[in-house]
Amino acid sequence: MLLQQYFEVRSPQKLGVSEAKRDECLMQVNGKHYRTVWMEGSAVKMINQLLLPHKFEIAALATHKDTAAAIKNMTVRGAGAIGVSAGYAMAQAFLESSDLEYIENAKKHIESTRPTAQNLFYATNRVFNAAKNSAKQKETAMFQAQKIADEDAENCRKIGEYGSALIKDGAKIETHCNAGWLAFCDWGSALAPIYFAKRQGKKVFVYVDETRPRLQGMFLTSWELLNEGIEHRIIPDNAGAYFMSQGIDMMIVGADRIAANGDTANKIGTFEKAIVAREFGVPFYIAAPTTTFDLKCKTGKDIPIEERSEDEVLSVSELADDGIMKKVMLAPQNSHALNPAFDVTPAKYITGLITEKGIVKPNTVEIKRLS
């Protein structure tokens, strides 16, 4: 059964936020609203996340191969943003050619970029299936890609509405990786309830895991929270247990794929945080739109785990005095590393799943009711 106290009694209309506040655009950079990724003509535009937090720059991607490369090298990252970018890339392929073989090869190429991210496959399949037999392929592909983007932003806003009901005034919350504006079109998943709670007038303090090896918590989440004016501190990944032992009210993280039974793949390190949360009685929530659910994966064992380059572990990138990002080796020469990008948190460690349709328990029966 859906958690009735949040799904019905605390519906979005009863959360204490005006219509204007609910509907205002969230992501403001220097006073201007941006989505993480959008399309202008045949080009895909996106915030270049490889340069944040030190430099804000928009990348312009002319072809589906350019957009696919941006997904793979993490110019754009985060479940929803990857999905939206993949949808736009699929639309670009239809704009580039009416040859079905070309478009099918483009689809395979886009899908090869990030194997764990379920939203990517949702988007490519939706655009491809809608447009392939359409009399107006290009228009249909563009329409579906844009609709995916708009739905992504709206779903995250609803996640913020439902999730904010869990947050008390003065709450101390830990998060891992980045699942905010930059991980979706707007609002985000794990950070959306925090942003919405702020709009309700609640004070929130956030512990931001640095999230090695790519430091998305330090680089991206802290940058978002600074823009939003939310008090926070960056903590080392291995400090989570200490701070939970001192008293944290809840932990909210995102997801890259959720299996039919509630097992959840998220950024590496999430699983160990869930174990620690269980030890100290800290509620552990996953925030994700239903496009992240993969009912074909019966359990987390069926979720493919992306292995990334060992260079991400052995080195870091830093902003040099000349303003150019440079790679600095940290490990001894000739050292090697293992670099799984994700791990799977079993459903038994998860308190609830915050979705755009309400908050559900992580089990097969309740997840199935969302579809």
Length of the chain: 371
Supply 179's token pair.
């699942």
Q: Is 144 exposed, middle or buried (0-12, 13-18, 19+ CB in 10 A)?
A: buried
Supply 55's token pair.
């430099």
* Catalytic-labelled residue, pool 152, 237, 256, 294: 256
Residue-wise burial string across 159-193, b where 16 or more C-beta atoms lie within 10 A, e elsewhere: bbbbbbbbbeeebbbbbbbbbbbbbbbbbbbbbbb
Q: Which regions of 111-185 does DSSP assign to beta strands (E)?
A: 171-175
Active site residue 150: no
> Which of 190, 237, 232 is CA-nearest to residue 212?
237
Contacts of 108 (CB under 8 A, 6+ apart): none
> Which of 303, 308, 310, 329 is CA-nearest to residue 318?
329
**φ/ψ bin of 273: left (φ > 0), alpha (ψ from -120 to 50), beta (otherwise):** alpha
CA distances from 100 to 88, 113, 135, 163, 261 (A): 17, 21, 13, 42, 36
Residues marked active site are found at 256
